[in-house]
Structure formats: C-alpha cells, structure tokens
Amino acid sequence: MLNKSTVLLATCVSFSAMAGDGGNAPLYSQDKSGQRFVNDVKSHISTIQIQMSVLELELSKLNEALAEKQISIDYINRENASRYFYVEKGSFKAQLAQFADQLQIKTIRWAGVPSCIDWTLDSIYKIDVSNTTDAIDEFLDGMPLTYEFFSRDNSLNLTSTVIIEGCPNAK
C-alpha cells in the first residue's frame, strides 16, 4: 500500500507532466515564476488530503465494525465450546474421557468391559451437554453399555449389556 508521501509525490509528477489547452505548449509555459504551478499542485494536494481523510475515516469505521463482529464470533465460539461436545471419528474410550472432563465427571467405573476393549466411532456429531443425563444418553446411544450417573460425586458407572471376552494377551 502506498504511504501519504508516495501518493503526494506521484501526484506532483503526474500533475507537472500534464499537457496544455490543446496547443503544443505545456500547460505552464507562460508561468515564468512557477507560482501558478505551485498553487495548482497545492490545491490538488489539498483535494487528495481531503479524500485520504475521508478514506481513513471509512477505514476506521470498518475496523470498528470488524472488531465488534469478531467479539460476537468469539463469544459464540466460547458458548459453543462449553455447551456442545463434538464427537469425532476414532476411539470411544479416548473421547469418553474428554466428554467426562467437559461434564466434570470425576470418575468412570467399568463393569464387564475388559480394559483392552474399545470401540471405534465412525461418525461426527455434536452433543448438547447442558443436561448431563441427556448428554450421556446421547453419547452412549447405540453402544452395548448401560450407565448409572451419581451426581453426589459426579461419577459414572458403565456396564456392558453383552458378554465381552477378556483380552487375548491378558494374564
């Protein structure tokens, strides 16, 4: 972007190279002392400075509007981050730990599920975590698990609804 002095210098150069009134003589050929040229350039510079002031004011207004919009976007992003849990493809157990952290569940107890067992989630979705039991219901939907949530200590007991064999290499 050009700075003010570059714009003014370019204006002076272009202004001095302008042709006259259709004759062969340059515009300022009769201006022996150069005063007319100086006055015209000063007038042109003044016009450019006014235009630049208007543009700077407009730029200031746009920056202010942009800052206000960014504040709104940041607020929405913060609210979404605390209100929703975003399930991604991958390990059920890894995401269960993140899900529990967001719900402030302190302990997860497993019953009938060997430690080596994990499930792979194959879809992406979001869960509203504003209601803990509804969120747990939605997160566990379709999994072979039932749960008990204890609000007194923010713990979660997960129990398998099917018989799962132990780990093949477990001793």
Residue 110 sits in a domain of what CATH number? 3.55.50
pTM for this entry:
0.56
Give the model's pLDDT for residue 50: 93
Strands (E), the chain: 84-87, 90-91, 107-111, 120-121, 125-128, 145-150, 155-160
Answer whether residue 17 is part of any domain. no
* 119: Cβ contacts below 8 Å, ≥ 6 apart: 91, 92, 93, 143
How far does Cα 9 stand from its chain's mean position? Answer: 40
Regarding whether 95 and 57 lie in a shared domain, the answer is: no
Average pLDDT value over all residues in the chain: 85
State which residues form the domain around 93.
88-160
Backbone dihedral region for residue 63 (phi beyond 0: left; psi -120 to 50: alpha; all else: beta): alpha
Q: How confident is the model at residue 19 (pLDDT cuts 50, 70, 90)?
A: very low
Establish how many alpha carbons lie within 13 A of residue 99's alpha carbon, considering only the half-sphere containing its beta carbon.
28
What is the structure's pLDDT at 165?
78
30 vs 98, more confident: 98
Average pLDDT over residues 135-156: 94
Same-domain pairing of 78 and 98? no
Contact 136, 156 (CB under 8 A): yes
For 150, other C-beta atoms within 10 Å of its C-beta total: 13
Q: Are residues 107 and 136 in the same domain?
A: yes
Q: Would you give the DSSP letter of residue 17?
A: T
Number of domains within the chain? 2
Are residue 78 and residue 8 in the same domain, yes or no? yes
Angle between the N-to-C axes of helices 35-83 and 4-16, in degrees from 0 to 180, rounded to the nearest 10: 140
